[in-house]
A and B are shown apart, each in its own frame.
Chain A
Amino acid sequence: QKEVEQNSGPLSVPEGAIASLNCTYSDRGSQSFFWYRQYSGKSPELIMFIYSNGDKEDGRFTAQLNKASQYVSLLIRDSQPSDSATYLCAVMEYGNKLVFGAGTILRVKS
């Protein structure tokens, strides 16, 4: 069973700060990585995906991938109270199956 590890949190940041969410994975052969946001009682929604080493930016979100260290991160700039949610890291496994971490709870305080 391939593993995806996340700190459960909660991670608390003040409004306007940068939130940094981290994820490690066990399968060195993994090629595709995804970040989902899940509000309480709702289904996950895709924020970003990244395939290549380095950074990928989309608005206030930046995904960072380091395959050598088997590490993926998500940075949220100018954090807003509406960003408060659980963030799920997911790794695409052989057979096109997503393996999810347990998620990190983010709380943005106004």
Chain B
Amino acid sequence: DGGITQSPKYLFRKEGQNVTLSCEQNLNHDAMYWYRQDPGQGLRLIYYSQIVNDFQKGDIAEGYSVSREKKESFPLTVTSAQKNPTAFYLCASRQLEEGYTFGSGTRLTVV
């Protein structure tokens, strides 16, 4: 089955700790995206990548970092600089004129 796999489903971060969220797709899509969703709010774009080895900041990139070394993978690191990281994180991919396909999400909580 083709799709996007995000892991872990739930993640707990201690204060001052960096954590990495995984996103893998086997859809052969060129573009990949990371969004953050807070309760009662829409999705906000963190980072996106149109091709391998290239990525751009979205609207709320501060405190986050990404890499795109392989077409299939687009991991997101939430750094200690992100002061309010508790949220639902969604990875998506896209091909040509189609809409996005989303992974199942990672719910990050600061403890």
Interfacial residues, chain A to chain B (CB-CB below 8 A): 1, 4, 8, 32, 34, 36, 42-46, 49, 88, 90, 95-103
For B44, give the chain A residue with the smallest CB separation: A100
Could you tell me if B104 and A100 are in contact, using CB atoms closer than 8 angstroms? no
How many A-B residue pairs have C-beta atoms within 8 angstroms? Tell me. Answer: 49
Could you tell me if A100 and B43 are in contact, using CB atoms closer than 8 angstroms? yes
Q: What 1/0 flags go to B76-92 for Cβ under 8 Å of A?
A: 00000000000000100
For B98, give the chain A residue with the smallest CB separation: A49
Could you tell me if A49 and B99 are in contact, using CB atoms closer than 8 angstroms? yes
How big is the B interface, by class? Answer: 20 to 34
Could you tell me if A46 and B101 are in contact, using CB atoms closer than 8 angstroms? yes
Determine the chain A residues whose CB is within 8 A of the CB of B42 once the complex forms: 4, 88, 100-103
Interfacial residues, chain B to chain A (CB-CB below 8 A): 31, 33, 35, 40-45, 48, 50, 56, 58-59, 90, 94, 97-105
Q: From residue A62, how far is it (CB to closest CB) to chain B in Å? A: 17
9 A-B pairs with the lowest CB-CB distances in the bound complex, closest first: A100-B42, A43-B102, A102-B42, A100-B43, A34-B99, A46-B99, A43-B105, A49-B99, A43-B104
Could you tell me if A44 and B90 are in contact, using CB atoms closer than 8 angstroms? yes
Could you tell me if A88 and B94 are in contact, using CB atoms closer than 8 angstroms? no
